[in-house]
Amino acid sequence: MKKLFSRPVLIIGFLVTLALVAVALASLVWTPLPPAKMNILHKLQPPLGFGLLGTDQFGRDVASMLMVGAWNSLSTAVLAVALGASAGTAVGVIVAMRRGWLELVTMRFCDIIFAVPPILSAMMLGAFIGSGRLTAVAAIAVFMVPVFARLTLSAARQIWTRDYVMAAIGMGRSKATITLVHILPNISGQIIVQVTIQLGLAILTEAGLSFLGLGMPPPAPTWGRMLADAQTFLGQAPWLALLPGLAIALAVLGFNMLGDGLRDLLDPKSQA
Amino acid sequence: MIAILIRRIASLIITLLVVSLLIFVVMDLLPGDPASVMLGTSASPETLAALQKQLGLDQPLPVRYLAWLAGVFRGDLGQSYTYGVPVAGLMAERLAVTLPLALMAVVMSVGLAIPLGVAAARRRNGVVDHLIGLVSYIGIAVPAFWVGLLLIIAFSTMLGWMPAGGFPGWDAGVFEGLKALVLPAVALALPQAGVLTRVARTAVIEVMGEDFVRTARAKGLSESLAVWRHAVPNALVPVVTMLGMQFTFLIAGAVLVENVFNLPGLGRLAYQALSQRDLIVMQDVVLFFAALVIVVNFLVDLAYLAIDPRLRTAV
């Protein structure tokens, strides 16, 4: 316990992330007001003027919209990272098992996919299948595949040279069994750290996509679109541009700190 | 060295070809035929057939790909559907905004990150180090487009020092052009600087522990000189690497920031092409950005070979 308190980064990251998850989950059962309820009489009210955090140009309650936005943002990020991390990890361990030309080709492919940022792939997808959560999830997930493939490949390659793996090979274990029994458990720490950090990046990307109108369609409130809407009222109601951005930054900060904290905890040698 | 160079260049060319093929095939595989996507649902069958013929959609995929690729090599990127002008000219015009913007952002982020990283490394675990660490943590977490909005609130709406957006064009003078790019460049640079500061700090700490720096100190070189003459140049290698790795994010940030500041750059062009369903423009811009990321990373790799002779044997 004492050891835990000597890690402020981990603790702050954990608490911020916990708060985010709690708010997101709470929004499923309760918000101060229905987030889509318009009240033109009380439009563009400052924080505490009407409701806790004021209202937007249609008189919708900003606090309620931010809460639902937390759920929309978090669920999109979790879905995208879950898909991308599983696919990338599978590619990474399989390539580490086979090596040879497969490794070369996979690495080149990773370079290529990594060269197209999710914003651009979401635009390509959006032109054909329309924008929406599916487009956002697909664009982010595809970008995550090379990230996890590279990580697991290099981590798994190291484990393959260990003595206990050599022993397992000598005992006639199949490569697939060794991967499941020895490789995956030994690289899981690094994967967990990366998942945490990529969740922050996914939230950042989702915000950018919905800012451009490539995320979930209205009336679903998203942090990104709240910022896009706020841009019209920067002079009249600058606070509308402050709060959603603060929410994004806090969420990303939480995941980044949690990830760094976990890395130090799980692998004290690789302190960045 | 020459052999390695030839192999690297060959691999670069293959990678670029695969990128172009991939983008072409993905655009082709996506549900919906480009002509009907571009015309919308209200188009008559005759208009649709005419556009399909104009786009060459009646040809098989390999023929279309090769025709497009041959065009790219000739500098002919096709005709924009909405603007009715060659895409190459359109992109060149927009690049004149995006390129200076990206360069300014890179210079600003490195210019911030190196001194901050060095300051943090020299007072390792002190108050300054922790403060810089906190600031760079926050820098990494804030979206560039939100920083843009905050800058507009502060410097345009409240202080009135800077334009809230738009671009007067380089014809209006270099100073006016640069002035319009300052706030967008800062918005792009701050998140980048957060990442780079952390890399610079780690790199300087590592180099400071090396023998040649200790020797330099033992010779009587002052701490400051030892840092700036020996530690910083060596610390630049990881910083440049990170800059290459971050290039994808710089481009993604530029697309967003150009939209915040209403700048007529390549990112805004891609976004407008999306809303106008101008698929040819989109395809060309995406290819250009992807190729740019790959070439930048290739150059970073080459820079390594030039800096560190040990890498020349290991490919």
B91-314: CATH topology is MetI-like fold (1.10.3720)
Record: contact A128-B31, CB cut-off 8 A:
yes
Task: Encode pLDDT of A51-106 as tens digits.
Answer: 778 888 887 888 889 999 999 999 999 999 999 999 999 999 999 998 889 998 89
Task: Encode pLDDT of A244-259 as tens digits.
Answer: 999 999 999 999 999 9
pLDDT score at B311: 64
Task: Encode pLDDT of B31-73 as tens digits.
Answer: 667 777 777 777 788 888 887 777 777 788 888 889 888 988 8
Long-range own/partner contacts, residues B58-61 (CB < 8 A, 24 or more apart): B61/B25, B61/B28
CB proximity A82 to B under 8 Å:
no
Provide the residue ranges of all domains of chain B, joining segments of one domain with +: 2-74, 91-314
Asked if the model's pLDDT at residue A218 lies above 80, the reply is: yes
Cβ neighbours of B259 in A, within 8 Å: 211-212
- CA A243 – CA A62 distance, rounded (Å): 9
Contact B289, B252 (CB under 8 A): no
Hey, what's the torsion of the CAs at B164, B169, B172, B173, to 10 degrees?
A: 100
Q: How far is B136 from chain A (nearest CA, A)?
A: 11
Buried b or exposed e, range A50-89, using 16+ CB within 10 angstroms: bbebbbbbebbbbbbbbbbbbbbbbbbbbbbbebbbebbb
CB proximity A129 to B under 8 Å:
yes
Task: Encode pLDDT of B190-219 as tens digits.
Answer: 999 999 999 999 988 888 878 777 787 788
Q: How far is B197 from chain A (nearest CA, A)?
A: 12
List, as one string, the DSSP characters of B20-77: HHHHHHHHHHSSS-HHHHHH-TT--HHHHHHHHHHTTTTS-HHHHHHHHHHHHHHT--
Residue to test with chain A: of B149, B159, B162, B278, most A Cβ within 10 A: B149
Percent of chain B with pLDDT over 70: 97
Cβ neighbours of B153 in A, within 8 Å: 234, 238, 241
Q: Enumerate the β-bridge partners of residue A61.
A: A55
Cβ neighbours of A239 in B, within 8 Å: none
Mean per-residue pLDDT over chain A, rounded: 88
* Closest chain A residue to the Cα of B266, Cα to Cα: A120
Residues 202-261 of A with CB under 8 A from B: 204-205, 207-208, 211-212, 227, 230-231, 234-235, 238, 241-242, 244-245, 248-250, 252-253, 256-257
Instruction: Specify the amino acid at residue A211.
Output: F
In this structure, what CATH number is given to the domain that contains residue A78? 1.10.3720.10
| B86 backbone dihedrals φ, ψ, rounded to 5° | -60, 140
Cβ neighbours of B270 in A, within 8 Å: 120, 123
pLDDT score at B191: 93
- CA B269 – CA B2 distance, rounded (Å): 40
Nearest Cβ partner of B149 from A118, A241, A272? A241
Record: contact B282-A124, CB cut-off 8 A:
yes
Q: Any residues with CB less than 8 A from the CB of A185 and at least 6 apart, and which?
A: none
For residue B97, which of B190, B185, B189 has the smallest C-alpha distance? B185
Q: Domain containing A65: what range?
A: 2-271
- Assign A272 a pLDDT band (cuts: 50, 70, 90): very low
Record: contact B290-A116, CB cut-off 8 A:
yes
Task: Encode pLDDT of B226-282 as tens digits.
Answer: 788 877 887 888 888 888 888 888 998 999 999 999 999 999 999 988 888 788 888
Task: Encode pLDDT of B108-136 as tens digits.
Answer: 999 999 999 999 998 888 899 999 999 99
Nearest Cβ partner of B251 from A117, A126, A204? A117
Record: contact B279-A245, CB cut-off 8 A:
no
Q: How far is A142 from chain B (nearest CA, A)?
A: 13
- CA B136 – CA B117 distance, rounded (Å): 10
Percent of chain A with pLDDT over 90: 57
- CA B70 – CA A5 distance, rounded (Å): 63
3-state secondary structure at position A116:
coil
Q: How far is B219 from chain A (nearest CA, A)?
A: 31
Integer CA distances (angstroms), B45 to A4, B41, B48, B51, in order: 69, 10, 5, 10
> ipTM of the predicted structure?
0.90
Q: How far is A181 from chain B (nearest CA, A)?
A: 32
Q: How far is A250 from chain B (nearest CA, A)?
A: 7
Instruction: Specify the amino acid at residue B267.
Output: G
